[in-house]
Amino acid sequence: MNKDLKIAKKTVQTEIKALKKLAASFNRSSQFSKAVNLISKTRGKVLVVGVGKSYIIGIKVSSTLSSLGTPSVAFNATDLQHGGLGAIQKNHDVLLVFSVSGESSELNNIIRYANRHGIDVIGVSCKSSSMLIRNSTIKILLPKVVEAGHSLAPTSSSLNFLSWGDSLAIACMKRKKWSNKKFISTHPSGTLATSLILVEDIMARGKEIPLISTNKSIKEAVKEMTKKRLGIVCCKEKNGKISILTDGDLRRQSNNLYKKTISKISVKNPTWISNTSTALAAIEKMNFKKITSLLVARDQDVSKKIKNVIGIIHLHHCLSRGIK
């Protein structure tokens, strides 16, 4: 192994040790739960504040909080002192302040302002006697760790602050029962959001479903298929079972088509999917079966022999939402 790779491996090993110290520290303090309680009850935003690298970590933590149901904004402590304090809503917002040393001079005026106006401060630092910890409502003391490469630049400590922030965001998400459906509502674009879209969110339903009885004529089936524009029609048999006719079936049966009956040429065992399956799963199923539509049944009915069709999901429904 060359020298560069040895340094890389040592860096990761050092940071893993730091994370293990952080994990162990949760066993020795109730302050984390107090922070979760405070944030979960707040009526306003979590204002994440830091200086330098701590501010950069704060941006990521703030973004994660917002993504998972806790409104948050990140501020550079320097900017906050020049008019930014006006963004803090008293009796509504909470300050979450990151500082390894807890002694950054840029934080002094901000902490004084918060204390003077009764604004709750969650202080996160590695120094128990620091100005930040002394003046915080909730005091979060992270373990002192060895920085990777024994450098002066924050590496292991920055990773611990980031991991602690992720832990806070996840705990608040669980406390608020923030679901994937709510996540999608704040992430309407992107691969992550589209991968969570459910079949029931985009399927054709109600009067959009092409449905006809098997005792009707082929001509009526074609009319219903054309009207609903899905290239398929559901055919309800006397026993309640659903068979299907597709535009492909009609083309294959084109010789003397209108002399034939629906029962004679319809597909008796169509492919179904649950309404709570993801649209991505629907795409995979269509690709595997080499078809363009799936019938949709309620989750509790999908394994039954006789199912009620509550929707149809077509390939175009998925593609129009960017699901591929």
Asked whether residue 182 carries a pLDDT value surpassing 80, the answer given is no
Q: Are 276 and 198 in contact (CB under 8 A)?
A: yes
DSSP state letter for 30: S
Asked whether residue 188 carries a pLDDT value surpassing 90, the answer given is no
Domains of the chain (ranges plus CATH)? Answer: 3-178 (3.40.50.10490), 199-319 (3.10.580.10)
Q: Are 38 and 120 in contact (CB under 8 A)?
A: yes
pLDDT for 307 equals 85
Asked whether residue 194 carries a pLDDT value surpassing 90, the answer given is no
pLDDT for 102 equals 92
Asked whether residue 68 carries a pLDDT value surpassing 70, the answer given is yes
pLDDT for 254 equals 79
pLDDT for 262 equals 87
Asked whether residue 28 carries a pLDDT value surpassing 70, the answer given is yes
Largest CA distance in the chain: 91
Q: pLDDT tier at 8 (50, 70, 90 boundaries)?
A: very high
List the single range of 64-73, 77-86, 184-193, 283-292 with lowest mean pLDDT: 184-193
Q: pLDDT tier at 187 (50, 70, 90 boundaries)?
A: low
pLDDT for 76 equals 93
**Quick one: average pLDDT of 69-88?**
85
pLDDT for 285 equals 94
What single-letter amino acid sits at 120?
D
Which comes out higher in pLDDT, residue 37 or 176? Answer: 37
**Quick one: average pLDDT of 148-175?**
92
CA distances from 72 to 15, 41, 130, 132, 307 (A): 27, 14, 25, 20, 46
Token duo for residue 160 = 């611990």
Token duo for residue 64 = 């994660």
**Quick one: average pLDDT of 178-184?**
68
Q: Are 118 and 90 in contact (CB under 8 A)?
A: yes
**Quick one: average pLDDT of 93-107?**
93
pLDDT for 146 equals 93
pLDDT for 29 equals 82
pLDDT for 25 equals 93
CA distances from 133 to 107, 121, 123 (A): 12, 10, 6
Which comes out higher in pLDDT, residue 251 or 39? Answer: 39
Asked whether residue 183 carries a pLDDT value surpassing 70, the answer given is no
pLDDT for 235 equals 93
pTM: 0.69
Q: pLDDT tier at 33 (50, 70, 90 boundaries)?
A: very high
**Quick one: average pLDDT of 171-200?**
76
**Quick one: average pLDDT of 200-213?**
93
pLDDT for 64 equals 94
Asked whether residue 201 carries a pLDDT value surpassing 80, the answer given is yes
Sheet holding 211-213, edge to edge: 211-213, 232-236, 242-246
pLDDT digits (tens, 9 = 90+) for 238-283: 888 999 999 888 888 878 888 888 888 888 889 999 999 999 999 9
Please report, rounded to a whole number, the percentage of residues in the chain having pLDDT higher than 90.
Answer: 62
Q: pLDDT tier at 53 (50, 70, 90 boundaries)?
A: very high
